[in-house]
Structure 1
Amino acid sequence: MTTDFQQARAALGVRLRELREACPGGRLTGTALAERLGWTQSKVSKLENGRQTAAAEDLEAWAQGVEQPEAVDELMARLRGLESHVRSWRRQLAAGHKAVQDAHNEAQARSQVLRAWESSWVVGVLQTPDYARAILSRFAELHGTARDIDDAVRSRMRRQEGLYDSTRKYHILLWEGVLRTRICPPTVLAAQLDRLLGVVGLDTVELGIVPFAAALKVPPATGFWMYDDRQVIVETWHAELWLDDADSVATHLRVWNTLRESAVYGADAQRVIGEARRAL
């Protein structure tokens, strides 16, 4: 997480402590507030010391517990500031998957040089509709979210218009495991691999594959996108991290450049993709 995020979470904790100590009914101890809210004392301590990210319901309960319900709007505004960096899936997907796809479309449309590393699935901008539908359906099942899958797929496909914009350049690295992961039926994966074989020839795309047999200087780890060396987006199981501080961007650029040293391109990349295709 970014230094900015940590500082904002710590500042929220300081504000929570101020509200507790200024309780109109008399200064509350952390233990007393925990008892009042039915929480553990450690939860109160973690929130006040910036070691745990508060949920919206935590802040509402806190404002009520310290007898200052009028503070809810302020606390929620601070939480929204935090979530400009850490966007939980629970909140994002409350309105369905299309809104998330639209946000990514907008972010990519503002960028000229895009870098990606993915170790789990084919990146959205290179997906076929059927492959995208399979991926989005799996996540809808995982998070128990609204199944606006068709709308989300259409939004994701619109992102691919950027591939035919000569002012943009996509530098994409995929782990070989991506080519073999059966997250979808074999026929869908076969069509997706055929799509990748065709992408290798696009002028706007530099597609590299990191083979299983390649020597690595860093573990494959988590996938991410970089936009114009100014922003990084990382997906985790519980949230997306939208990072824009210089240290986070620089770290991810070093990781990307290091992984690139292990990648193969052109005919060699097509050979690795072709081997995965024949394995089906």
Structure 2
Amino acid sequence: MSTDFQSARTTLGARLRELRTEAGLNGKGVAQALGWQRSKVSRLETGKQTPTAADLTAWAQAVGRPDLACELRGRLVGLETQYRSWRRQLAGGHRARQELAIAETASTQVIRGVEVSRIPGLFQTAEYARHTFEGNAEFRQVPKDIEGSVRARIRRQEVLYEPGRQFRFLVWEGALHVLTCPREVMAAQLDRLAGLIGLDTIELGVIPLGAQLRRAPTHGFWIYDRRRVIVETISTEMWLDDEDTIALYERAWEWMSEAAVHGPQARRLIGRARATLELT
């Protein structure tokens, strides 16, 4: 069983346990109400057994929350689609995932993002993207379809110039100094980033090192309109679409944006990072 599927099943089990405890019931009480073995309740709550849609409807009834039956069944449907392992997504290389990103971006009006260790893909130069794909392919030991992936990433950037779109990104200042490519490639990338400031469709904020924060930028994430959040980990990409999670990530974005600088101040921080490369 894939680890991403198991993670999602464990999350669903935790939600079932939460609803049971909120109802003031123990496992034995739920089992009796449903006519189940106590062991089934335990397996469902610990993520060791996949519930059926009927199981979830019955659970919602037993805990006095029939209004949540649709939510629980929705979580069941999402078990294999919400948590996507990189091994499975990149089995044939990076290009297919980039094509998916093009489609997802095309159907979105407002994208808000946070990056803490790299330049956002929508703002990357071809050379920076090339080194990113090469390093990732080597790390994950997947096919190196580098040129096709780079072309797809650059094609995705065409939306930056479409009227009515909004791209609101926050970049941790440290990301401006992370070298995963040659210094001359990073210099050109920083020049590109500075050049995007002032574009009508782009709001780029830089969170300075040493800024007072209400929320630390622990990992990157992208919010697509108000319908989906995409989060990357080393092994998994998570597509999260429940309202509570989206609201949580929106709050994280807003809190971090309070510390960000924009316009000339952001360009100054980018220029400072550019100067440290000391190119001759």
**What range is the shorter-chain TM-score in?**
0.7 to 0.9
1:47, 1:93 → 2: CA distance? 31
Tell me how far 1:7 sits from its aligned partner: 7.4
Q: Which residue of 2 aligns with 1:183?
A: 180
Q: Which residue of 1 aligns with 2:47?
A: 50
Change over 3 Å in CA distance of 1:206–1:214 after alignment to 2: same
Q: Are positions 1:259 and 2:256 aligned together?
A: yes
SS in 2 for 1:237: coil
- Native 8 Å contact 1:89 1:238 kept in 2: yes
Q: Give TM-score scaled by structure 1 length.
A: 0.74
Q: Which residue of 1 aligns with 2:64?
A: none
Q: Deviation per CA, 1:24-74, whole angstroms, max 9, x where unpaired?
A: xxxxxx9xxxxxxxxxxxxxx989931699xxxxxxxxxxxxxxxxxxxxx
| RMSD over aligned Cα atoms | 2.6
For structure 1, the residue ranges without an aligned partner over 5 or more in a row are: 12-29, 31-44, 54-77
1:228, 1:188 → 2: CA distance? 32
- Native 8 Å contact 1:200 1:266 kept in 2: yes
Tell me how far 1:104 sits from its aligned partner: 1.1
Tell me how far 1:213 sits from its aligned partner: 2.1
Q: Which residue of 1 aligns with 2:139?
A: 142
The one-letter code sitting in structure 2 at the alignment partner of 1:202 is L
Q: Which residue of 2 aligns with 1:19?
A: none
Change over 3 Å in CA distance of 1:48–1:215 after alignment to 2: closer
For structure 2, the residue ranges without an aligned partner over 5 or more in a row are: 15-38, 51-74
Q: Which residue of 2 aligns with 1:244?
A: 241
The one-letter code sitting in structure 1 at the alignment partner of 2:270 is I
SS in 2 for 1:221: coil
Q: Are positions 1:86 and 2:83 aligned together?
A: yes
- Native 8 Å contact 2:10 2:48 kept in 1: no
- Native 8 Å contact 2:128 2:185 kept in 1: yes
Change over 3 Å in CA distance of 1:47–1:237 after alignment to 2: farther
- Native 8 Å contact 2:10 2:45 kept in 1: no
Q: Which residue of 2 aligns with 1:211?
A: 208
Identity of aligned residues (%): 49
Change over 3 Å in CA distance of 1:108–1:279 after alignment to 2: same
Tell me how far 1:163 sits from its aligned partner: 0.4
2:194, 2:102 → 1: CA distance? 24
Change over 3 Å in CA distance of 1:7–1:245 after alignment to 2: farther
The one-letter code sitting in structure 2 at the alignment partner of 1:89 is W
Q: Give TM-score scaled by structure 2 length.
A: 0.74
Aligned length: 222
Q: Deviation per CA, 1:163-183, whole angstroms, max 9, x where unpaired?
A: 000120000100001110011
Out of 105, 108, 127, the residue aligned to residue 108 of structure 1 is: 105
Q: Which residue of 2 aligns with 1:151?
A: 148
The one-letter code sitting in structure 1 at the alignment partner of 2:191 is D
1:79, 1:137 → 2: CA distance? 36
1:204, 1:265 → 2: CA distance? 14
Change over 3 Å in CA distance of 1:185–1:242 after alignment to 2: same
Q: Deviation per CA, 1:95-126, whole angstroms, max 9, x where unpaired?
A: 21000111111111100011000001000000
1:167, 1:256 → 2: CA distance? 21
1:80, 1:246 → 2: CA distance? 16
Q: Which residue of 1 aligns with 2:94?
A: 97
Change over 3 Å in CA distance of 1:47–1:180 after alignment to 2: farther
Q: Which residue of 2 aligns with 1:59?
A: none
Q: Are positions 1:120 and 2:124 aligned together?
A: no
The one-letter code sitting in structure 2 at the alignment partner of 1:195 is R
- Native 8 Å contact 1:8 1:82 kept in 2: no
Q: Which residue of 2 aligns with 1:173?
A: 170
1:7, 1:89 → 2: CA distance? 19
Change over 3 Å in CA distance of 1:200–1:52 after alignment to 2: farther
Q: Are positions 1:201 and 2:201 aligned together?
A: no
1:171, 1:84 → 2: CA distance? 26
- Native 8 Å contact 2:207 2:260 kept in 1: yes
The one-letter code sitting in structure 2 at the alignment partner of 1:166 is P
